[in-house]
Amino acid sequence: MKAIKEIKEVEDTNLYIEGQEYFKQDVLDYIEEMVDMKISNGEDTKIKYLPMIMKDIFKSMKDSLEEKEVLVICDDKEKSKKIIKGISKDAVFITAIGCNKDEQEEIYDYILEEVGLSLFYPSNINRVLENYSLIINFTDNIKYDFSRTRRNCVFFDFGFGNNIGNRKRFPIIKDIGFSLKDLGLNETKWLDKVVKASVREALEEKNGQSKVYLYIDNDYYLIKDYINLFIKVKGHF
Report the pLDDT value the prediction gives residue 204, as an integer from 0 to 100.
62
Q: If you count them, how many residues does the chain have?
A: 237
Please give the pLDDT value at position 170: 73
pLDDT in tens, 50-69: 999 999 999 999 899 999 99
What beta strand segments (E) does the chain contain? 14-15, 38-39, 69-73, 93-97, 134-137, 154-157, 172-173, 175-179, 194-196, 212-216, 219-222
- Domains of the chain, by residue range, sit at 1-39, 43-175+225-230
Q: Give me the residues paired with residue 175 across strands.
A: 215
pLDDT value of position 119:
96
Q: What pLDDT score was predicted for residue 180? A: 81
What φ, ψ does residue 106 adopt, rounded to 5°? -65, -40
* Residues sharing a CB contact under 8 Å with residue 107, sequence separation 6 or more, in sequence order: 77, 80, 81, 84, 96, 99, 119
Q: Provide the 3-class DSSP secondary structure of residue 216.
A: strand
Per-residue pLDDT at 132: 95
> How far is CA 35 from each of CA 25, 30, 42, 133, 218, rounded to the nearest angstrom?
16, 9, 19, 42, 31
Task: Look up the pTM and report it.
Answer: 0.85
Cα gap 144→216, rounded to integer Å? 20
- The pLDDT score that the predictor gives to residue 46 is 94
3-39 residue pLDDT tens: 565 556 655 666 766 666 666 667 777 776 776 777 7
**Domain 43-175+225-230 falls in which CATH fold?**
Rossmann fold (3.40.50)
**Buried-state track 116-133, b at ≥16 Cβ within 10 A, e below 16:** ebebeeeeebeeebebbb
- Could you report the average pLDDT of every consecutive run of 10 residues in the chain (237 residues)? 56 65 69 70 91 94 93 96 96 95 96 95 90 94 82 89 60 91 71 84 64 93 93 54
The one-character DSSP state at 233 is P
The pLDDT of residue 187 is 66
pLDDT at 158: 92
Q: Measured between alpha carbons, how far is 120 from 11 in angstroms, rounded to an integer?
A: 43
